């Protein structure tokens, strides 16, 4: 299927080898936030990628296996994306963390990965808004993994019909707001759904 455009492009491919067999799905995702008319909104990442509006009755269990996340150079980032499920959705969240657990819950490390617009990477004002790694204390660190698109998500999924929609969630929009010393995000995220015929 051809790519569909918003502030992102997605190429959706799938193959079912036999009736009843899992679908092998491949999603190639590009960030297009540099097209935003407001320059303060151009720096962002696509942090979550889902197949959405999946076929089946409420409570359907979609079995997902053989998941891989590869950047444009073929480098494997699967371990930095968390597999997620929701009502009629299966996908990936670019937030991963490890904590010490109870009773003194403390995040030791957190990684936020997402798909970055390569045109922003080539623009000094836009790229200057990227969030930088932050060491919050001697035992805590937060890192930001900006991946140039396309990033490819591939997996097998058992469902009753082919996928027809992809939901993307933009995050870190505006990055540091133009202040490199600011280590927090300047604005909330956005989500949108791309339909395929």
Q: What is the pLDDT of residues 8-62, one digit of tens each?
A: 999 999 999 998 899 999 999 999 999 999 999 999 999 999 999 999 877 788 9
**Among 20-34, 134-148, 174-188, where is mean pLDDT lowest?**
174-188
**Among 47-61, 78-92, 159-173, where is mean pLDDT lowest?**
47-61
CA 69 to each of CA 91, 166, 181: distance values in angstroms, whole numbers, following the listed order:
11, 16, 31
What was the pLDDT predicted at 17?
A: 92
**Cβ-count burial 137-163 (b if 16+ within 10 Å, e if not):** eeeeebbbbbbbbbbbbbbbbebeeeb
Q: What percent of the chain has pLDDT over 70?
A: 95
**Among 2-11, 44-53, 173-182, where is mean pLDDT lowest?**
2-11
Residue 103 pLDDT > 90: no
Residue 4 pLDDT > 50: no
**Cβ-count burial 25-49 (b if 16+ within 10 Å, e if not):** bebbbbbbbbebeeebbbbbbbbbb
pLDDT mean over 79-104? 90
Nearest to 21 by CA among 161, 163, 164: 161
Q: What percent of the chain has pLDDT over 90?
A: 73
Nearest to 173 by CA among 49, 41, 31: 41
Alpha carbons within 13 angstroms on the beta-carbon side of residue 135 total 3
User: How far is the C-alpha of 183 from the C-alpha of 173, rounded, in Å?
Assistant: 13
Contact 187, 174 (CB under 8 A): yes
What was the pLDDT predicted at 187?
A: 67
- pLDDT band (50, 70, 90) for residue 179: confident
Domains located in the chain, CATH noted: 4-93+113-129+146-195 (2.60.40.1170)
Find where tokens 């998500």 sit. 153
Residue 104 pLDDT > 50: yes
């Amino acid at each position: 299927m051809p790519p569909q455009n918003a502030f992102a492009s997605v190429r959706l491919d799938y193959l079912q080898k036999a009736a009843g067999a899992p679908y092998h799905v491949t999603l190639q995702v590009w960030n297009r936030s540099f097209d935003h008319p407001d320059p303060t909104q151009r720096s962002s990442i696509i942090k979550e990628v889902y197949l959405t509006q999946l076929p089946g009755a409420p409570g359907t269990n979609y079995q997902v296996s053989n998941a891989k996340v590869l950047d444009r150079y073929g480098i494997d980032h699967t371990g930095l994306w968390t597999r997620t499920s929701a009502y009629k959705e299966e996908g990936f969240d670019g937030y991963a963390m490890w904590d010490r657990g109870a009773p003194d819950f403390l995040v030791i490390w957190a990684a936020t990965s997402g798909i970055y617009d390569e045109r922003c990477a080539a623009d000094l004002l836009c790229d200057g808004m990227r969030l930088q790694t932050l060491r919050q204390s001697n035992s805590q660190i937060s890192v930001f993994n900006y991946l140039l698109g396309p990033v490819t998500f591939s997996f097998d999924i058992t469902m009753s019909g082919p996928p027809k929609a992809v939901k993307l969630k933009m995050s870190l929009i505006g990055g540091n707001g133009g202040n490199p010393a600011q280590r927090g995000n300047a604005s909330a995220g956005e989500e949108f759904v791309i339909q395929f015929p």
